[in-house]
Structure 1
């Protein structure tokens, strides 16, 4: 190896990484202390150079293609755990610093999501067969951060608690009109419709909408939900509440003002919105190359400074902000463990390369919420300063009332 040792000597401080070259030579990096011991085999001479210049993308692609394999421990999990606890060492290398500067310079181009392109970007991720997601999500197929009353709560319990938490924040009354921007597989729309409101739910993923309608019909609330395949910028009308869960990550920093202006326009006087999305506690950055290319094209996790700067420009009141720090780590850990149990079925349905890609994705994001700067935030937004109750007790009171109602059937 000619190139890779220059990077790995500076990178691996915790744990150890043994690299077996195509010729069988073994080179060990790191002391082996305070981290996992990983053994990685390179099956291609070109990987030495390719990994040196773009390790975050090439490692994933090489694993997907079988050019890079792991021979001991927990494979991808241990490898990415080693990466996550040593990420500062990687970022300090001059070549990696230059690469990150180029990503930041191109972030607005990477995150361009005009009408049409935004739909195709979302469909590339969400329009996999519903049967695939059904294998490893909860029974309601909720594909966003759960809300854990305790760390040891089950995924099912935590996703029900998330629906309850959001509904309590919305402070709904029967007959209200609610717009949901990005409706997933319909779990939140169904839950809210059962509380006596009418939901207008929009999505750009065709498969998700079809599945949502089936679920709403089975739940007996299809008459209270209007599903549209529509971009958020095309939604018209006036609503008492607007809710958006796991959608803002797909907007792109170029379009934050459009997104919040749309919410501002949709609200009736005295109405308010609830936004649930992934953010970062670190300064503005860019989307990593593997996630950008294979998982969420056009996606971006914003710094909170970028979110609040846009809200200032648009002129919306932030009436409440809650930061969920470890909830998504717990959520994705459940997803990853569920996925591991059904991996043979995933391979049969989607193929080995896809299964490896998804495995790499789930592990990477799980550890990003454990050791990285990612978290989830929930905002209550309004045009008027007093549209949202000024004391937060209404949220806890609402959750208790909903819990009691659910227990009573």
Structure 2
């Protein structure tokens, strides 16, 4: 077993500020855009008129056909943010308390179900051209850009993630058995499912792209495999090494702080769980070519990916959204069609088997949000302010709603060579 050490980040990388350190620049300032605010209010009222929600204005006026409650506390600020940038302003308004809801995921579900129809197509095109922000150039996932993007999310705090994840520290969709609701057991079932997709058995040398906190590497090692696992998060690498040692498999697992593009060697199986979402469209060809290059003849790839409908990917792939600005800079969720096209064009691999876990992800996110809410005091004790708490709550609820209605899905793929 190689004893190559984990590469530590440079002093400059360690000095990068974390999102919760200091103020939220500009967030408290309400945009001055009276015309856009009026247009946004008109469109919002038109959209919720037939939605199964209850929108309550400060003067007691209610909108919607009845359902999960949304309290708009500061209408002027809410519509100004919405009019300035609908894809960012809606979430920012929640972060600062312009609107709130006792059940955010339930409220966002009807909106997610009608996402493509809420704004007329002509206004959607106009918004993309004149209103909506485009993705910043500095979030492109070059080698250095990817490290910055990953640092902003995964290096927030290992203690923060431990508050709402289960004991396996798995930050991806679980796979619940019929009638089962134990999150840790469902996460182990998911890990076993993707290892099976890759055909991982005793004696194999497995490459994992995207270490997380070491749960999959430990599980693979306990199958008798030797594992090389790659991450570009220094915080994750440090905790993963410790967890791997505590599990008693350090002699079979090597953690490298390394980008997938820098990987060398050949492996009997390659596994990558919900890492492709951080690759970016520009580098999808490189990612799939790398999987192909690193896989030995006869080997298989186990790939788990969140997906969106292809038509939505085509119209939104250049958009800069609330999720990009506050949670996953540089990210892009692919469609199944985009994965198939890139496999065909840039590798000798094809999808041989697939398994959908979309509804399981909705349940996973509900578990995470419940745990996060139960531990609010612990979140504050870690130094995260109320704005961050509302940001994280919106993020988890927003994603849960997307999976509930099928706007988002997640697949486990078994990739074989053609």
Quote the residue 1:365 is aligned against: 399
1:244 has 2:282 as partner: no
Distance 1:128 1:108, change over 3 A: closer
Give the drift of 1:373: 1.6
For residue 5 of structure 1, the aligned residue among 41, 44, 61 is 41
1:290 has 2:322 as partner: yes
Contact 2:207 2:228 survives alignment (8 Å):
yes
* Offset from partner CA, 1:9-45 (integer Å, 9 cap, x none): 221011231233xxxx45433233xx323221117x4
Alignment of 1:159-238 (within 5 A): 159-238=187-266
Alignment of 1:289-368 (within 5 A): 289-314=321-346, 315-349=348-382, 350-368=384-402
Contact 1:180 1:201 survives alignment (8 Å):
yes
Alignment partners' CA distance in 1, 2:70 and 2:129: 29
Contact 1:10 1:89 survives alignment (8 Å):
no
Alignment partners' CA distance in 2, 1:264 and 1:293: 32
Contact 1:64 1:353 survives alignment (8 Å):
yes
Alignment partners' CA distance in 2, 1:300 and 1:3: 29
Distance 1:31 1:381, change over 3 A: closer
Mean Cα deviation higher: 254-263 or 281-290: 281-290
Give the drift of 1:222: 0.7
For residue 57 of structure 2, the aligned residue among 19, 25, 29 is 19
Alignment partners' CA distance in 1, 2:123 and 2:273: 37
Give the drift of 1:364: 0.3
1:379 has 2:417 as partner: no
Mean Cα deviation higher: 175-184 or 5-14: 5-14
Distance 1:341 1:8, change over 3 A: same
Give the drift of 1:54: 2.0
Alignment partners' CA distance in 2, 1:85 and 1:373: 7
* TM-score, normalised by the number of residues in structure 1: 0.85
Alignment partners' CA distance in 2, 1:172 and 1:103: 49
* Offset from partner CA, 1:46-82 (integer Å, 9 cap, x none): 443332242331122232234x143xx6153454245
SS of equivalent residue, structure 1 residue 273:
strand
SS of equivalent residue, structure 2 residue 57:
strand
Distance 1:94 1:345, change over 3 A: farther
Alignment partners' CA distance in 2, 1:277 and 1:270: 22
For residue 158 of structure 2, the aligned residue among 122, 125, 130 is 130
For residue 141 of structure 1, the aligned residue among 164, 169, 176 is 169
Give the drift of 1:8: 1.6
* Offset from partner CA, 1:346-395 (integer Å, 9 cap, x none): 12321211111100100000001012421111222233x4xxxxxxxxxx
Quote the residue 1:400 is aligned against: none
SS of equivalent residue, structure 1 residue 141:
coil
Give the drift of 1:181: 0.2
Alignment partners' CA distance in 1, 2:228 and 2:142: 22
Give the drift of 1:103: 9.5
Contact 2:85 2:132 survives alignment (8 Å):
no
* TM-score, normalised by the number of residues in structure 2: 0.83
* Offset from partner CA, 1:150-201 (integer Å, 9 cap, x none): 2542111101111221222232332211100001000000110111111000
Give the drift of 1:246: 1.1
Alignment partners' CA distance in 1, 2:63 and 2:94: 20
SS of equivalent residue, structure 2 residue 300:
strand
Quote the residue 1:51 is aligned against: 82
SS of equivalent residue, structure 2 residue 118:
helix
Alignment partners' CA distance in 2, 1:86 and 1:30: 14
Contact 2:199 2:300 survives alignment (8 Å):
no
Give the drift of 1:321: 2.3
Unaligned runs of 5+ in 2: 1-36
Alignment partners' CA distance in 2, 1:137 and 1:102: 40
Alignment of 1:97-116 (within 5 A): 97-100=125-128, 106=134, 112-116=140-144
SS of equivalent residue, structure 1 residue 228:
strand
Distance 1:187 1:252, change over 3 A: same
Q: RMSD of the alignment, in Å?
A: 2.4
Distance 1:245 1:209, change over 3 A: same
Alignment partners' CA distance in 2, 1:182 and 1:104: 32
SS of equivalent residue, structure 1 residue 74:
coil
Alignment partners' CA distance in 2, 1:54 and 1:104: 6
Give the drift of 1:330: 1.2
Distance 1:172 1:88, change over 3 A: closer
Alignment partners' CA distance in 2, 1:3 and 1:296: 29
SS of equivalent residue, structure 1 residue 223:
coil
